[in-house]
Structure formats: structure tokens, C-alpha cells
Structure 1
Amino acid sequence: MSKVKLRLDKTCLNCNHVVDQRYCPNCGQENTLSRKSFHHIFIHFFEDLTHYDNAFWRTIIYLFFKPAALTKAYMSGKRLSFLAPIRLYIFISFVTFLLISLFPDHPEEVVLEPTAIKEQVVIPTIDSLHIEEKSVDGLTKVGLLSQQNNDTIKKILKQTTSIIKIDSTPTTDSVIKKEVADFGYKSLTELDSIQKHGSAEVKVSDTEYWFLRKWLAVKQENTNEEIVEKFTNSFAYNLPKLLFMYMPVFALVLWLFHDKKKWFYFDSGIFTLHYFSFLLLLILTLFFIDKLLPLFGKSPAVEWIHFTLRTVGIFWMIYYFFPAHRRFYGEKFLVSLFKSSIIILINLIAITLILILFALYTYSNIH
């Protein structure tokens, strides 16, 4: 690691203790200049990450490949050899959601030129039909369509215009869009009128009324794509907070299933921090696999590698908790398997309910 020039003053800037060597014997701070160049900060950061005995890489390896080994090492007192659990979780959480936000996943849209749209959708009209002149009883009449054919044309027109909405703006960005669902109500005014003056059969409950009114208000101000984008962005923005707030609940469930005299809530909290850090790290890994492998083409070999890595990653995500739980709490295989299964089931139910409430909260805040 590069050495920074020491200060001539032997007084520690942190505690005012006399510093005879490079590090203060009282607080441990390095007696170097406090103002450093950006080049030094960048090099120092790179050296910290790549140094062979750095705690960061040792922590990542233990976390990813050795279930519960990191937690057991930390609980046994090996604190300086690894990153602190809360620092590890905050760092991985920040990096995961930052990098995922830099690679938004937008659904592909079929963009058609205005002329192409005209070729795609051909709507028959009366004027465009071939009308043939016929002579009947010496009188020249325009060959009119029979009533049956006329009804058929009207039916085609009605069905076609109700299914497809064409953006008539003469730009190259014109696209064929599907109508956003309106649940049978055309506007807020119609919904309010039915709810106020309609019969009991057509009125809806207060909860349904709130939902429909919110939906129609959002629909009037946003397109279908904007609604999906706003919901996704809001959900992704608040998801780290949700996971962080749920960790105490996960730790509580763990603590309730084990001997309270032997295991403190603190122990289950450390296990939870490491487990959630592992989940975020694996999610980030799978995300990069999905983004990077398609760059090598769509050959069968690449697709097979992609499928294999995703399968292994998902299996490791599901399986990881079982050996981690058994190794950390030191229980017999069948006992640990039973407890692990119950703990996972309880948390899945709780997370599902929380996600539903969170989705409703996110939906209620869309403008």
C-alpha cells in the first residue's frame, strides 16, 4: 500500500496525544496530512479492495460460500477479520439497489411508422366498396348493398374501432396502445354519480369506491406506460427500507424458536443481518448474469450457460438457509429441518401480506 507523508507536527489531530511513530498510541489514527488529493483517495480505495488480506473480500467469500461461518466467526470474537454486520448489510444494500437502478428494464414496444399503421389496420368503409351499376326494369340504379351486408360492415367497423386505438399524431413515435382498464366506468363523474344516486345493486363498497376513484384519477393524468413506470420506481425506491424494517421481525421469529437461555435476540439479529446480506448479494449476482450473458449472443451454448447459472443461483438462494440455520444453532438435522421449514413458511406468509400492503401504499401515492 502506498505511504503518505507524515506530518511534521507530532500532536495527534484526533486526541492531541503525542505521536512518536506513524500511528497514535492513544487512539490509533495515522498522523498524516488530512487534506489529500482525489488521486490518493481513488488509489487508497482500490488498494483497500484488492489487498490480499483485506476484510472485505474475506467477508464476501465467507458470506457467499460458507453458510453461517461468518456469523459463527463474528460471535466467537473475530471482529476485526471481517466487516461488521450492519456495515456489511448497508454497503451491499446500497450497491445492489444503486446498480439495479442504473440498468432499468423497460418492456419493448412495437413502434410503427404512420404509413405502416395504415397498412396494418384496414377499416372498410362504404365509399371504398366497389359499387356496380345495374339496369333493372329499364331503370339505372346504383347497386346497393343488401341489408345483411350493410349490417356486417357496421359490425366489423364497431369491433375494429373498439379493439384498436390508433395514435393519429403524424410522428415516427406513433405506437399501437392498448386501452387502460376502466373497470366499466368512463370517468370520475360517472362513478361519483352512480355511487350517489344509483340503486343498491350498482353501488360499490367504500373500499372499492376508494380504489376505483383513485384508479380513474390516475388514469386521467397518466398513460398506461407512465402508471407502470411510476409504480415500479416507487416500489423499487422503498423496497430497501421495507427489507431493513422487516429484519427485526425475521430475527424475532428465529429467537422465538430457540432456547432463550442459550440464545439471545442479539444472536439471531446478527444471523439475520448476514442472511439478508447474502440474499441481496445473490440477487445482484443474478441480475448481472441476466444483463451480461446476452451480450455474448443467443447461441445454444450461451443460453445453456445462462439457464444453468440462474438455476444454480435460485437453488442456492432457497437451500442456503437450511445449512446456515443448522450450523449456527447446532441442532440435529431433523430438528433443524423442521424448525427451518416452519420459520420459512411463517416469514413467507408475513412477507406476502406486507408486500400486498406495501403495493397498496405505493399505489395510493401515485399521482
Structure 2
Amino acid sequence: MDNKPTKTSSGRYQLKYRGVECRNCKHPLDISDKYCPNCSQANSIKKLSIKDFFDEFFASVISYDSKLLKTLAALLLRPGKITRDYIQGKRISYTNPFRFLLSLSLIYFFIISFSNDFSSLDRYGAKDKKEFINVFKNINFDDKGKLNQNPIDSSSNRSEINKILEQDKIKDSLLFKNPKKYFSSNNHHSFFSRFFHKIDFFTTTISKDTIYSFDDAITKYQIKNNRENKSAYNSAKGLSRLKNQPGSFLNSLISKLPFTTFFFLPIFAFFIWMIYIRKKYTYTDHIIFSFHNQSLLFILLIVSYLINNIFKIDSQGIFLFIFLIYLYKSMRNFYKQRRFITIIKYLFLNTIFVILATIAIIVVLTGSIFTF
């Protein structure tokens, strides 16, 4: 019996180009196999031509576009249904939830960053307009680094001290009189007190002295090269740049936000799993449900942003209201529980979502400051 496919293929997939062994994984093939059942590579021994290359490229694009349109249609018109289909194995028609959400978040934050000239805010950054001048050589300090309370004979020195007090320069005078001693003056305190003291030290020296790197601080102030000191320096460097370049900081922050979603959504899915623990869903099912709903939120945010910029109106509230209704319908359709129970769980999950999103933003904001 002739074991050939009933449907004739074209291009490099014609029968005359079929092999009997996969060129990728060496799995035995039949001439009727268009793809390897082991690794899914196309069964073709024909060398790839330019025409074949572009044919396959456009075929993959059309296939992706088809999946994208079906995913969008199912997501918009059938809340919760797309998740149910996906976890039941009907996946060939839809795009991967993780990839889809990542793409939408990148598109949204790219639009935000690209359409706003945040860098122009750098002009409002705080700059030191005058060069710092060391006038503290004649000021005396006791062994603990505090200003000596003994009378100072020189009237010029007394006048200088009054000037320092008026300009709130006592801290700087202490620091630059003996930087090494000032830096180590908090070593016996708790970690947080010591760490913020070091941040304050580095912030002052970065803005008022020729310190451009941690190595400069090590050399000039004989500071130990350890992780705590380096972390304090990096934090001070980030705070100084934030102070001087607020617009650039916003651009840096926005570039990190898409990835923040994928840190708190798995935690959020844990809470969904907890309140639906009696349902026969796995933790992964809840993550997919979260990804689909978050994708819809990004779609609405993108549409709202475009409408706002084209028509010069504020539509965020309308689209947020649409999303809240959508989320309720999605929970009802996917988890199949009564209205009252769904509403209680809906309110609880929205509260958790707001809390987790706030924590995530604070963490990213803090991390961005310390690494900027």
C-alpha cells in the first residue's frame, strides 16, 4: 500500500524532498511525515532558498496574526472563556498567555515613555551652583567629632562659626575636617543607622567633592572596600542622580515596570488559589487566569491612552470601570460560582491586587533609586 499524504504540499515540502530520517534529532520518519513527530522540525532535505526563507517567514507571521486576532476576540468578547479553553487543552488557536501579556506591557510602557519627553524634566534637577570651599581648618572638634564648646579667641573664627551655623554647614564642617573619622563615627550603631549615615556621607562627598567612583572614596578617605560600604555608595550615587536628573530617572523607572507585573502576579495567583482551594484548579490555572485578565487591562490602558491623546479627553475612569465589570464577568464565567460568593471574592481579590501592586511599585521605585 502506498503510504502518501492525500494533500499535496508545495515548495520544499513536496514529496520528492521528504526524507526518512529527521535531520535535527535523527528520529526515523515516513515519507508521509511533513513534520518530525519527535522534535517538530519540517521534514525536508531541500536546501533552503531565498524564496523558501521568505515563504516560511510570511507563513509564520500570518499564522501568528491569526492566533493574535482569535486571542483578542476571545479575550474581549468572552470573559473567562479563553482561560477555560486554554487549560482544557484548546491552545493551538491562541497565543501563549505569558508572551501575550509581556508584549502588551512592553507596548504600553513604550508608548508612555516614547510619547512623553521626561528627559526635559532634568532641567529642574537640583545643581550645586557654587563650588564648595573648605573653610573649616581652624575649627576645633573634640574626640567624639563634636564641635568644641570652648571659646575661640579669634573673632574671625567666631564669625566664621556663626556663618556656618546660619547656613546649616555644621555637618559639612564635621565631615570635611576629618572625613575618615566622620565616616566611622557610627560604626557602633545598628545596621540601618550606620547604613543611612554612610549614604549621607557619600551623598555629601559626591555633590561637594571630587568623588566620581567608589574607588575614589577608598583612595581619598581610606574607606574599607566591603559590600556594605559599596552598597551605601551606590545608593548615594543613585539618590544624587535622581536629585539632578529626575526626568532620566522616570525613563529608567518606566523601562522596569513591564517586568514588575511578572513578579507580583504569581503572588496574586496564590491568593486566588487560596480562596478557590475547593475548586479543582491547579496553581498554574490561576496564573493563566491572572495573565489573561491583566492582558485585558493593558489593552484597555493602551486604547484609553490613545483616545486621550487624540481627542484630548480623560477616559481612564471609563476604561477602569469597564475592566472592573469585565473582571467580575470573567470570574463568574471561569469559576462558575453564585453571584454573592463571586462578589465577596471579587472585592477581596481587588483589595489584594491594589496592595500587591503598591508594594511592587514601592520596591521597584526604591530599587531604581539605589541602582540609577
TM class, shorter-chain normalised? 0.5 to 0.7
Whole-angstrom CA distance in 2 between matches of 1:188 and 1:4: 78
User: Which of 328, 331, 336 is the aligned partner of 1:325?
Assistant: 331
> Helix, strand or coil for the counterpart of 2:13?
coil
CA contact (8 A) 1:188 1:217 kept: no
Taking a change above 3 Å as real, the CA distance of residues 108 and 80 of structure 1, as seen in their structure-2 partners, is closer
Q: Residues 214-363 of structure 1 correspond to what in structure 2 (within 5 A)? A: 227-260=245-278, 262-291=280-309, 293=310, 302-303=311-312, 306-308=313-315, 310-363=316-369
Deviations 1:193-234 (A, max 9, x none): 79959xxxxxx9657646655665676686778521332233
1:44 aligns with 2:55: no
Q: CA deviation at 1:77?
A: 2.8
Deviations 1:250-287 (A, max 9, x none): 10010111233533323212211212222233333334
Q: CA deviation at 1:359?
A: 1.2
Whole-angstrom CA distance in 2 between matches of 1:211 and 1:75: 50
Aligned to 1:10: 18
Aligned to 1:35: 48
CA contact (8 A) 1:19 1:31 kept: no
> Helix, strand or coil for the counterpart of 2:37?
coil
1:92 aligns with 2:104: yes
CA contact (8 A) 1:89 1:277 kept: yes
Taking a change above 3 Å as real, the CA distance of residues 180 and 347 of structure 1, as seen in their structure-2 partners, is farther
Q: CA deviation at 1:344?
A: 1.1
Aligned to 1:365: 371
Gaps of 5+ in 2: 1-8, 130-166, 184-191, 213-239
> Helix, strand or coil for the counterpart of 2:94?
coil
Aligned to 2:91: 79
Whole-angstrom CA distance in 2 between matches of 1:86 and 1:108: 31
Deviations 1:291-332 (A, max 9, x none): 5x1xxxxxxxx34xx445x44323223333222122211111
1:189 aligns with 2:145: no
> Helix, strand or coil for the counterpart of 1:18?
coil
1:65 aligns with 2:77: yes
CA contact (8 A) 2:125 2:245 kept: no
Q: CA deviation at 1:244?
A: 0.8
> Helix, strand or coil for the counterpart of 1:5?
helix
CA contact (8 A) 1:188 1:216 kept: no
Q: Residues 40-189 of structure 1 correspond to what in structure 2 (within 5 A)? A: 40=55, 42-50=57-65, 54-98=66-110, 100-101=112-113, 103-107=114-118, 179=126, 189=172
Whole-angstrom CA distance in 2 between matches of 1:319 and 1:348: 16
Q: CA deviation at 1:350?
A: 2.6
> Helix, strand or coil for the counterpart of 2:300?
helix
Letter in 2 for 1:17: P
Letter in 2 for 1:18: L
Whole-angstrom CA distance in 2 between matches of 1:246 and 1:206: 31
Q: CA deviation at 1:48?
A: 2.5
Gaps of 5+ in 1: 111-174, 198-203, 294-301
Letter in 2 for 1:26: P
CA contact (8 A) 1:49 1:56 kept: yes
Q: CA deviation at 1:56?
A: 2.1
Whole-angstrom CA distance in 1 between matches of 2:320 and 2:127: 34
RMSD (Å), alpha carbons: 4.2
Give the structure-2-normalised TM-score: 0.60
Whole-angstrom CA distance in 2 between matches of 1:235 and 1:9: 52
Whole-angstrom CA distance in 1 between matches of 2:63 and 2:251: 33
Whole-angstrom CA distance in 2 between matches of 1:176 and 1:249: 39
Aligned to 1:120: none
Whole-angstrom CA distance in 1 between matches of 2:124 and 2:279: 62
Q: CA deviation at 1:3?
A: 5.1
User: Which of 31, 35, 41 is the aligned partner of 1:20?
Assistant: 31
Give the structure-1-normalised TM-score: 0.61
Taking a change above 3 Å as real, the CA distance of residues 227 and 185 of structure 1, as seen in their structure-2 partners, is farther
Q: CA deviation at 1:6?
A: 3.0
Whole-angstrom CA distance in 1 between matches of 2:364 and 2:123: 32
